[in-house]
Amino acid sequence: MSLWASATTSESGRRADLLRDKQRIIRSFFKYTGKLPSEIESADVQSWLKALEEQGISAGTCYQHACLLSSFYSWAMRDPEIGQHVRRNPARLARPKAPKPYQTESVKALSDEEVAALVAAVKGRAQGGDVVGKRDYALLLLYLATGLRRQEAIGLRGKDVHLGGTLVLEYRAKGGDYRGREVREPQVKEALLDYLTASGRLYALKTDAPLWTRHDRAGRPGEALTSHCFVKNLKKYAREAGVEGFHLHRTRHTFARIVSEVTGDITATQNALDHQNRSTTRVYVQRIAVKKDLYSNEVSKRWGD
């Protein structure tokens, strides 16, 4: 597996990260199936992709995972030794069509009413004194207030959080670069401190311990919260709030919608989303923003009373 990753990854400043991520994805597939590479069928790949979708993984990410698996099999078939055992590529037929960027249900921004309903549902559990509810409430507010990507927020460690006059986060952004982000909304800081206090984990600050941990699995104190576990909870809250088709990435798109509406500036929105290319932000905003009606009143004058 390491030979495949090395052979298919170009030299760059992020090569070490890419090698690690590619191997992690392929290992996760074989762990899921419990089979040897030569035993895999297309149905195994389809089952894995379906499981990823059920975890809230986006269609684009699932497609990328399928492409990596197909790349691994293509390489294995060409290898003189491994190719004697691996004679076909089960991922090629199982690979879904490449999704168009920002053209799926999961990219829809939440309406203001849906945001309020979802936050109220999670806040209700938090106010009941439940530690899981307090954690989910703090993390949801963080996602909504910052527009951070899935792993950027859930992967935070205690040392990444700085509590001064305002909350400041340090995190690894998409592309491998480190970023610092100020969060001025006091409710986010208050919810985070409430969670850490209730869970007896204030000590985690300034340490390498995970900021968010599981509290619903006996015998494993301090285990890092997974995005799968959090998304599962969020979907339950969303159903209670009457929010249909909820995906975690919709919090980022909601953030983008609001920033775009408030600023009306594509550059400001690009900076807030931490996009490297303005064209990405433009497509993003065009898909999620509601176009303002500037002309219907004028047009109506033409058809009379």
- Which amino acid, residue 300? S
Task: Give the pLDDT score at 267.
Answer: 86
Task: Give the pLDDT score at 103.
Answer: 47
CB of 53 closer than 8 Å to CB of 62:
yes
Q: DSSP alpha helices (H): ranges in the chain? A: 2-7, 15-33, 42-54, 59-78, 90-94, 112-127, 131-146, 150-154, 186-198, 227-241, 249-263, 266-273, 278-288, 296-303
CATH of domain 106-288: 1.10.443.10
Nearest of 140, 148, 109, 161 to residue 274 by alpha carbon? 148
Q: State how far the Cα of 52 lies from the Cα of 224, in Å rounded to an integer.
A: 19
Neighbouring CB atoms inside 10 A of 20's CB total 11
Tell me the pLDDT tens digit for each residue of 178-198: 889 999 999 999 999 999 999
Low-confidence ranges of the chain (pLDDT < 70): 13, 98-107, 217-219, 221, 288-295, 305
Which tokens go with 222?
Answer: 């301090």
Helix, strand, or coil (residue 291): coil
Task: Give the pLDDT score at 217.
Answer: 65
Neighbouring CB atoms inside 10 A of 106's CB total 19
Task: Give the pLDDT score at 156.
Answer: 95
CB of 247 closer than 8 Å to CB of 56:
yes
Sequential DSSP letters for 139-199: HHHHHHHH---HHHHHT-BGGGEEESSSEEEEEEPTTS-EEEEEE--HHHHHHHHHHHHHT
Instruction: Indicate the domain borders of the chain.
Output: 2-99, 106-288
Contacts 24+ apart (CB under 8 A), 275-278: 276/175
